[in-house]
Amino acid sequence: MSRIAHHSGFTLIEIIVSIGIDTLLMFIAVVAWSSISARSRSEDVQTRVISLLREGREKTLARVGASSWGVHFEATQITLFPGTSFVVGLASSTVYAVPGDVRITWWALSGGGADVLFQSFTGETRQDGLVSIQRLNDTSVEKKVRVYSSGYVEGI
């Protein structure tokens, strides 16, 4: 009577295939997570632009500091400032630094320039137009903010 040897466990091939599948799944998860995360940062910047524009209009209407207020755009930062013209480094300004992988890529405002200024008593602006926000490594993800002459602001 012969005895049949019965071995339990995994073969080397099974282990290699299992590691390969796990690696592939982890790669897919990391790519998906980074895409979702970057899209979220673009939306956060869009929300911040809208918030700063609305705050500037509200401060103008409330005559905070007995002044009108405006918002200045640069590729890497957005500044809420008092007065009728932007001054670098003004203590009463609020500066928001745009995250490193997101940029304010362009702005198209009436009259040119990079500032939206709100008029006292009405909250209107002569600098209506669009602001564009994009990821650096994926320009297909674009968020925009529209500023109307009435001072109303919306994300599009």
Residue 2 within any structural domain of the chain: no
Residue 120 within any structural domain of the chain: yes
pLDDT of residue 41: 84
What gap in Å lies between CA 11 and CA 7, rounded to an integer?
A: 10
Residue 58 within any structural domain of the chain: yes
Segment 2-7 shows an average pLDDT of 65
pLDDT of residue 31: 80
Number of domain units in the chain: 1
pLDDT of residue 8: 76
pLDDT of residue 127: 97
Average pLDDT over the chain reads 91
Residue 6 within any structural domain of the chain: no
Q: Provide the 3-class DSSP secondary structure of residue 20.
A: helix
Segment 55-79 shows an average pLDDT of 96
> Residue 118's domain is classified under what CATH number?
3.55.40.10
> Residue 49 is part of which domain span?
12-155
Residue 98 within any structural domain of the chain: yes
Residue 4 within any structural domain of the chain: no
Q: What is the pTM of this model?
A: 0.79
Does residue 94 contact residue 52 with C-beta atoms inside 8 Å?
Answer: yes
Residue 80 within any structural domain of the chain: yes
- Residues sharing a CB contact under 8 Å with residue 122, sequence separation 6 or more, in sequence order: 151
Segment 19-33 shows an average pLDDT of 88
